[in-house]
Amino acid sequence: MMKLAWLNLHRNPSRALLTIFSVFIAAFFSILFGSTKNGILNSSIDSILKLSGGHIEIRSKSYSKTRSIDDIMYLDSATLDSISMLPYVKSVLPVLQSYLLISHSSSPSTKAVAIIGIDPEAEKDRILTVSEMVEGEWFSKCDKGVILGENMREQLGLGVGDTLAVMGMGYHGSSAVGLIPIQGIARIPVSTVDKSTIFITLSAAQELFQADDCYSEIYIMSERLDKVDLIKSQIQNKFSSEEYEIRDWKSIIEEYLFYFRFADAIGFIIMLFLYILVGSNILGTIIMMTKERKLEFSVLISIGMSRNKLSKSLFYELIIVALLGVILAVIITLPIVHYFTIHPIPLYGEAVATLKQFSIYSGLYMSLDFTLFIKQFLIVLGICLVFATYPIAFIQHLKVDEGLSKRDANEDNL
Amino acid sequence: MNELIDNDKSIIVRTENLSKSFLDGKSVIKATDRVNLTITSGEFTAVVGPSGSGKTTLLNLIGGLTSPTSGKVFVKGKDINQLTDKELVNFRLHNIGFVFQLLNLIPVLTVEENIGFVMELQGADKEQRIERTAELLEVIGMRDRAHSRPSSLSGGQKQRVAVARALASKPLFILADEPTANLDTEAAETLLNTMLLLNEKEKITFLFSTHDPRVMNKARRLITLEDGRITKDETYVR
Ligand SMILES: Nc1ncnc2c1ncn2[C@@H]1O[C@H](COP(=O)(O)OP(=O)(O)O)[C@@H](O)[C@H]1O
Ligand SMILES: [Mg+2]
């Protein structure tokens, strides 16, 4: 029977190809749409994480409560290195932040600002903080100057080359006092940061606050969203839960989660429509190719082939066709999806322009996720299996004498 | 009385007031009307009559492809309308050979495989199939076409293979509805001669329908239908 099914496919290649094609189209679009949907979701999560920190945040428990410079944590460089060596860790962003009063000799007023010490190299992975330099250069490792936003520059009425007098509390009772030149002006898309924050290199910050090897927090970016839990558990092995607070992206973006669920639901509805669309296409093809063979089925039943045997043979035929269609779709979509995980699909329009301005948007990426492939593979195959009941029911209810009559027998198989 | 008749080993088919009506819009068409008919072993019988006279319907009733509106069909004494659909399919497989006017053969199988197909359905093993197939190919004079596909055969050759296919299962009798309708004169004659040969040498019983006078001339018994009723039933010695 298997052989007959296989041979039957060759008999009318255009019919078989048509069915394969309709299955292929179904799987093709399901996979592409699913990948795009996941890609959008992942990159939105990424964008928000870039705004807020990283996939995982580490800080000391006490600092988390007090936000006081006295409660920041000490970590030796070996510990930091060991984190960056964990599998799937994309980058480790150590930060030392605090508050200062700044003033300038040309004006009597002082201003309270947040100061963030960052690792200039690692920070490049966070596109948020600085989208581009307006004046001056981005930090190199040992720079001592500060970079601030355009808004802050206007407030202060100062520019590159001017020197700020800073004053604040240092680590463990010391004082943080110094003269720091302005080394650059940056465009900072997030306005609260633009208004109130100045940036400095991590090493300069540690020197200023007399806090060598101390950090207020460590942000960790993961290569893949689904590996965050793994990284987190390994970090938890290194850091005692009594001393350190380790949060992951889920708790960080909790406030946004509703929107993700919403987007997910919309994606699901679109997906459903897609399935209905491609499903009815498959069903149409199956119905057509079943009806077309009425005479053939009638002859076979007449000469003594049982309806069950015939159904089975036809079922095999459909399974072969469906498998070919889905496998073909996977083979073809794999490189496409892979390509678009690296190269974004450019989108245009006002909304996109706004997003771009905030550096949140960098294009429409797809997500290459094998479970998605397997899921769509099974769904489309499942749809085909459900539809395979049509020819089976058709055969079970076929009236042989009608099928044989010339009234509606098609004669192309003479 | 019935028992008596059916106990006669030579009776293969017997119908009893066999009727089949179709509803065509509002009017009822009596395609087969109270037909009483007996076919005995070794007959070479043609059902004749103009188009629409009920030939196909009668053969379908006898072959268990259509269920009667009233009346009965006995094949070897068995009331075939008492059988379930499943049993009927199986009954046909083992007792009746069919030759149709159109699409008799499975296009993807070779001539040889087509002939062996019903035997395969019957569960015959490969050796049996090969042996019988070779035998039948010899009879229809097509040994050289054993491995051809149906599409490469002429209409007449296809019908001869169909006869061989019908014979392969060693049926009680063969039903052929207008087997020559799509054939030219020569091919029709060859087919009929093959059937006659099988009838004479192997005592195969044939019941076929036709409206071709030249084909009728070969039959030993002519059953004439008009509006579903038997109007003539003549036997000839040829
Ligand atoms: N399925 C059907 N539905 C309605 N009428 C039918 C059907 N099958 C046959 N008939 C009618 O029954 C009559 C006999 O048909 P048929 O047995 O095919 O005759 P023949 O084979 O001699 O041409 C015709 O009038 C035909 O129109
Ligand atoms: Mg007819």
Tally of CA atoms within 13 A in the half-sphere of A220 that contains its CB: 31
Assess A174–B contact: CB distance below 8 Å, yes or no: no
Q: Does residue A320 register a pLDDT over 80?
A: yes
pLDDT score of B3: 45
Ligand with an atom nearest the CA of residue B19:
1
pLDDT (mean) for B106-115: 88
Distance B182 CA to ligand 1 centre (A): 19
Assess B69–A contact: CB distance below 8 Å, yes or no: no
AA letter at B201: K
Sign of CA dihedral B209, B210, B215, B221: positive
Is the CB–ligand 1 distance for residue A408 below 6 Å?
no
Nearest to A401 among B60, B106, B166 (CB): B60
Nearest to B107 among A400, A409, A413 (CB): A413
What's the ipTM?
0.91
- What is the distance between the alpha carbons of residues B12 and B175, in angstroms, rounded to a whole number? 12
pLDDT score of A251: 79
Beta-carbon contacts of residue A320 (< 8 Å; ≥ 6 apart): A5, A6, A9
DSSP H or E stretch at residue A410: none
- The answer to whether the beta carbons of residues A245 and A216 sit under 8 Å apart is no
Q: State whether residue B9 is helix, strand or coil.
A: coil
> In angstroms, what separates the C-alpha of B63 from chain A's closest C-alpha?
8
- What is the distance between the alpha carbons of residues A130 and A51, in angstroms, rounded to a whole number? 11
Which residues on A lie below 8 Å from B182 (Cβ)?
414
Side by side, the strands of the sheet bearing B11-24 are B27-40, B11-24, B70-75, B78-79
Is the CB–ligand 1 distance for residue A243 below 6 Å?
no
- What is the distance between the alpha carbons of residues A270 and A263, in angstroms, rounded to a whole number? 11
pLDDT (mean) for B66-89: 93
- Count contacts between A and B (CB, < 8 Å): 74
pLDDT score of A3: 65
Q: What is the DSSP string of B15-56?
A: EEEEEEEEEETTEEEEEEEEEEEEEETT-EEEEE-STTSSHH
AA letter at A135: E
Neighbours of B56 (CB within 10 A): 23
Assess B28–A contact: CB distance below 8 Å, yes or no: no
Q: Does residue A257 register a pLDDT over 90?
A: no
Tally of CA atoms within 13 A in the half-sphere of A13 that contains its CB: 1
Pairing type for strands B221-226 and B44-48 reads parallel
Q: Which of A103-112, A130-139, A356-365, B210-219 has the lowest mean pLDDT?
A: A356-365
Tokens of A31: 């996979």
> Across the interface, do A303 and B92 touch by the CB < 8 Å criterion?
yes
Higher pLDDT, B215 or B47: B47
- What is the distance between the alpha carbons of residues B106 and B229, in angstroms, rounded to a whole number? 35
Domain boundaries, chain B: 11-235
Looking at the CA of residue B225, tell me the nearest atom of ligand 1: 22
pLDDT (mean) for B115-135: 90
**Ligand 2 ion local residues (Cβ < 5 A):** B 56
Higher pLDDT, B164 or A351: B164
Is the CB–ligand 1 distance for residue B55 below 6 Å?
yes
% chain A with pLDDT above 70: 87
Q: Could you tell me how far CA B12 lies from the centroid of its own chain?
A: 13
Q: What is the CATH number of domain B11-235?
A: 3.40.50.300
Q: Where does CATH 2.40.70 sit in chain A?
A: 73-215
Which residues on A lie below 8 Å from B165 (Cβ)?
303
> Across the interface, do A302 and B121 touch by the CB < 8 Å criterion?
no
A73-215 is a CATH 3.90.920 domain: no
DSSP H or E stretch at residue A76: none
pLDDT score of A358: 54
Nearest to B89 among A304, A405, A413 (CB): A304
- The answer to whether the beta carbons of residues B56 and B1 sit under 8 Å apart is no
Interface test mutation site (partner A, options B89, B98, B122, max chain A beta carbons within 10 A): B89
> Chain-wide mean pLDDT for chain B?
89
